[in-house]
Structure 1
């Protein structure tokens, strides 16, 4: 008779992956999602404020374009720096810091006396906004059970719709109410600075990050908290660290340079993600930053324009809901390709729309498909990289995409003067097709453990 060797103890990350979705997961998701919604509200408010201050300050087309783009310059820098910092000092710490930075700068924007001051403040706001999104999605991704990780991250992304809807409500009710309505809209943006205190005190740090830093007691405590929430008994002996983290005795992991994103194992993924992020950013921010302004310039009143924008924005929620359901049924790549294709068709339809019903129908479709694609993109981005460069990789992809979000608001109004609304939205459709080409290059990661896929990336590189 032969005796079989005992099964090896599960690593902490394996224990996390095996858990059901618990109250602890919900607390992390909602806590991160509120920060995400506050981010979206700040970005969205600017599209409504631009209409008011353009009239009040008699802004030129160039000044309006600069104000629309400067925040995205900050977001590009913030995304790259935030990812790097999150891999050095932790996801939770950077998340809280970003909320503090952009909350204070948004509140200060309410006091801006001219274009120069507002430009400087919006750049600082962008630094915080840009750093938050890839860091928050990385943190949630690293705690989510493997079988539903994509769905959980899409739900996180759906908080963007909540924030943008809140911005549309503020824009409709507050901005047109008085000459100082736009200042009060910015003043509301100080809320994230207060919320940063909650994030720092209540949300957990990434177990994978803690292990990589040699903080194994803290990592074990975090895992046990989630196991208690699920009613699962923790092992009696301390488990090994996850495979990709190396020997448990190592106290400080070496820093991994950004060029690791372009090694043979990761190059294809990086290029695919950067193309997808660029196309989606160009089309989304080019369209949604200027839809209120385009409607006003097409003859609608400010109030009607803001009301139509609110209706269009509401379609973001069902877009996220459908994408969250499909992402674990179809997979990441199939959802991205489908929703990006729907976005391209909707963009052309919006450009050609000649009546209010047609504008609303095309706008609703564009909002539905575009935001569903965003959800899938945020799900696939952090899981495409191993732990040492996960936040760096997500931040770099986001930062590259921000180059498009900088460019789009600058060129939309001058381009519209040359080729009209239909031509501009055809350009947006082409950007969605570029994003589809990038998505087609991605590896399908549905149901994979984050550590398991590291080995596949190496094999894929040959």
Structure 2
């Protein structure tokens, strides 16, 4: 490999200590399209089901299956395509997955029964699951150390932007007799814009270096981060190149930690997003319109929580944000369990409390897995942890309508509280602190 590596540079200096530039902002913005679509797609179905259920005469079983279908797809997509991304690169998969979302979103407009809808949402979920490890790995591998948590965590915040937009778009389209068709089709619009924008993003230089393609890695590094960069800015990560090898060499604890805390975060979150209007309607609200509008406002509180957590994560550190977020969000859920018949303003306050403090665990869903695994298997590990978390989320989403019908609202909220507290307990014993560490340092096992 004939490359002029240069001399005198501190290892990782250009890449880890670079100033935030326009490329970093563009990369984060375009990468956030996947999370935006995920939030949009999952949130819009909660409102669309209000019309779809009577339209198709759906049973509780089918309501749960369709609510959980995209989550099952995310499990498949993350588990399979994370490994593919580590083998063939980030850039190629970066656009293919969104094309699949566009095609399936358009086809949803023409479904005539619950089976067709289930299959299409499963396929959309697979494409979304594939995007998680691709987009987050790219951002983590380009981001300066001082901005990594905010840029990667910010991707998760865009999930809530997508969910918030979907809630209000869905509320508007619900006024139409066939509004559900337009709701499901609407996700194709942002997907088209995002896939066009992503064509300008290059391959990850860290991934290229891990494959021995130093010339290409250096050219991209100099064109995007620092024109004076050298290969010394890309640490040689001589680590196991397969996930099974990584697990054997000591990373299993990290896989378990991330999978458990991620699952505890998303089980309650996705249940509320998939069945938000139905859940809120049980809290003695006066009308279906009031429940749908309240659903949109809860999305805003989730977004606010993410923004606050992003502002604090580099000051307070990862552990306090994660553990404190779980405990305080559980407090909001506990109140809803104890006092489901409270005044409307108290119900709104409790939901807001849960949603805002859920922001800490939410942004760390992508910060931790991208920091704690080496380049060679980063996308594989992120995909695996995404998939495992979505198994729990899919089960929770599938079980939510049954739990509400058979166990009641209060018991369902007690279960949600217990899940959040379990996340806090696991995080207390297993969460590492990676604040102020380079990506190389964070992904290394302690001596």
Q: TM-score w.r.t. structure 2 length? A: 0.92
User: Which of 276, 301, 320 lines up with 1:334 in the alignment?
Assistant: 320
Over 3 Å counting, the alpha-carbon distance change for 1:387 and 1:427 in structure 2 is same
- How far does residue 255 in structure 1 lie from its aligned partner after superposition? 8.2
Cα RMSD (Å):
2.1
| Inter-partner Cα distance in structure 2 for 1:25 and 1:420 | 47
Unaligned ranges ≥5, structure 1: 1-5, 247-253
Measure how far apart 1:149 and its partner are.
Answer: 1.2
Give, in angstroms, the shift of residue 446 of structure 1.
Answer: 1.0
Residue 111 of structure 1: aligned partner: 110
In the alignment, which residue of structure 2 is the partner of 1:251? none
Equivalent residue, structure 1, for 2:94: 95
Q: Please give the alpha-carbon distance, in whole angstroms, between the structure 2 residues aligned to 1:23 and 1:284.
A: 33
Q: Report how far residue 318 of structure 1 moved.
A: 1.8
1:69-103: CA deviation from partner (whole Å, max 9, x where unpaired): 11111110011112111111112222212211122
**Aligned equivalent of 2:46:** 47
Q: Deviations over 1:376-403 (max 9, x none)?
A: 2221111110111111111111100001
Native 8 Å contact 1:106 1:190 kept in 2? yes
- Name the CA distance, whole Å, in 1 between partners of 2:248 and 2:167: 43
Contact 1:95 1:136 in 2 (8 A): yes
Aligned to 1:349: 335
In structure 2, the partner of 1:263 is 248
Partner of 1:64: 63
In the alignment, the residues of structure 1 paired with residue 344 and residue 233 of structure 2 have an alpha-carbon distance, to the nearest angstrom, of 59
Name the SS of the counterpart of 2:147 in structure 1. helix
Residues paired across the two proteins, number: 438
Q: Counterparts of 1:431 and 1:300 in 2: how far apart (Å)?
A: 30
Q: CA deviation at 1:243?
A: 3.4
**Aligned counterparts of 1:139 and 1:300: Cα–Cα separation in 2:** 46
Checking the alignment, whether the CA contact within 8 Å between 1:323 and 1:376 is kept in structure 2 is: no
Aligned with 1:363 (options 351, 370, 391): 351
Contact kept, 8 Å, 1:207 with 1:219, in 2: the verdict is yes
Say if 1:56 and 1:179, in contact at 8 Å, map to a contact too: no
Structure 1 residue corresponding to 2:228, chosen from 212, 226, 234? 234
Q: TM-score, normalised by structure 1?
A: 0.89
Deviation track 1:139-164 (CA, whole Å, cap 9, x = no partner) reads 11111111231122222221112101
Matched, 1:432 2:435: no
Paired position in structure 1 for 2:3: none
Could you list the per-position Cα deviations for residues 390-420 of structure 1 after superposition, in whole angstroms to 9, with x for gaps in the alignment?
1111111110000111101111122223331
Partner SS state of residue 20, structure 1: coil
> Which residue in 2 is equivalent to 1:448?
437
Could you tell me which residue of structure 2 aligns to residue 402 of structure 1? 390
Counterpart position of 1:179: 177
Query: 1:137 matched to which residue of 2?
Result: 136
- Whether contact under 8 Å (1:348, 1:422) holds in the other structure is no
CA distance in 2, matches of 1:37, 1:48: 17
3-state SS of 1:146 partner: coil
Measure, in 2, the Cα distance between the counterparts of 1:299 and 1:454. Answer: 48
Structure 1, 94-103 or 58-67: larger mean CA deviation = 94-103
> 1:27 is matched with which residue?
26
The 1:79/1:27 distance shift into structure 2, 3 A limit, reads same
SS, match of residue 403 in structure 1: helix
